[in-house]
A and B are shown apart, each in its own frame.
Chain A
């Protein structure tokens, strides 16, 4: 390993560096893969329980590749909600990826737009969580090591997600209706969001959104969801200014 690093220009050592960085990324994401396995199975079961055929469920898993967006959309699709509402809900649930993208952009900005498209598409939550703490203070952004570390985190995640989703889809077809496993999706959403609610402004924002969502749930077109998001954002920002009177986090 060391003697290979002394001749960094040779082709074989370049390959070795990529491989080492890929394995580091894989190791960093390993704890997240356990959660991803459970999450993938639950999402697969939820897709099949909410009435999707095996084909549409597999298409959803392959194309959408976003557990929270899939679980959010399933009740809407089951209720036959208008497509624009499904799109709006999908955008709202995925907004966090805009933040992730903004944070990751400096590390990938020198790649071709095709590569940035693929890397961005694969940038799921656990990859972001594994990547950022490690390279947050890196003096150089956009190194070969960073790119291959990232690939080592996202490629296994993609495969594991697709496999566990398919397992969940086939399990969902086997278990009886009376188990009402679609409710597992609601519980999985709960399990997903709880660790993220880790600061006082976010907790206050979530509580306010919950109250608003409960009060406004009889509004048509799930407009209560929109109202809850608006209230959640306003309360979160208000709580932030209360916490940091000078306005800086």
Chain B
């Protein structure tokens, strides 16, 4: 992993993300009524982002070798079934 400055910059930026998203509405909510349309659109962003992180890790492909199936794919499939069966987050 990269040098210390890079890591701390990334950590501070992430902390800033959290502060903006979690406290923004609490602190400045008086001034920004959220339009219902925007509110419903935002609902889909987090899960879409999560799945977009997961998929390339589980099922990678390259132009040279095509799709790669390995143990990660099997492990994810099994986990998915276990999670769904137990409905345990």
Using a CB–CB cutoff of 8 Å, the interface residues on chain A facing chain B are 35, 50-52, 56, 59-60, 63-66, 68-73, 75, 77-78, 80, 83, 86-87, 89-102, 104-105, 108-109, 113, 116-117, 119-121, 123, 183, 186-187, 189-197, 201-202, 205-206, 209-210, 212-214, 217-218, 224-225, 228-229, 231-233, 235-237, 240, 249
Total A-B residue contacts, Cβ distance less than 8 Å:
250
Contact with A along B7-49 (1 / 0, CB 8 A): 1111111111111111111110110001000011111111111
**B1 with A78: CB separation less than 8 A:** yes
Residue among B4, B29, B59 with the highest chain A CB neighbour number at 10 A: B29
Contact A65-B13, Cβ < 8 Å, known A98-B24, A214-B59, A217-B56: no
**A217 with B1: CB separation less than 8 A:** no
Specify the main secondary structure of chain B where it touches its partner: helix
Q: Nearest-CB distance from A235 to chain B (Å)? A: 8
A-B pairs with beta carbons under 8 Å apart, 27 shown:
A50-B1, A56-B8, A59-B8, A60-B11, A63-B11, A63-B14, A64-B11, A91-B20, A92-B45, A94-B46, A95-B46, A98-B34, A101-B21, A120-B25, A123-B22, A189-B50, A189-B54, A190-B54, A191-B89, A192-B50, A194-B84, A202-B44, A206-B48, A209-B47, A210-B51, A228-B51, A233-B45
Q: Nearest-CB distance from A242 to chain B (Å)? A: 14
Contact A205-B57, Cβ < 8 Å, known A60-B14, A99-B39, A101-B24: no
The residues in B between 45 and 83 inclusive whose CB is less than 8 angstroms from any CB of A are 45-63, 72, 75-76, 79-80, 83
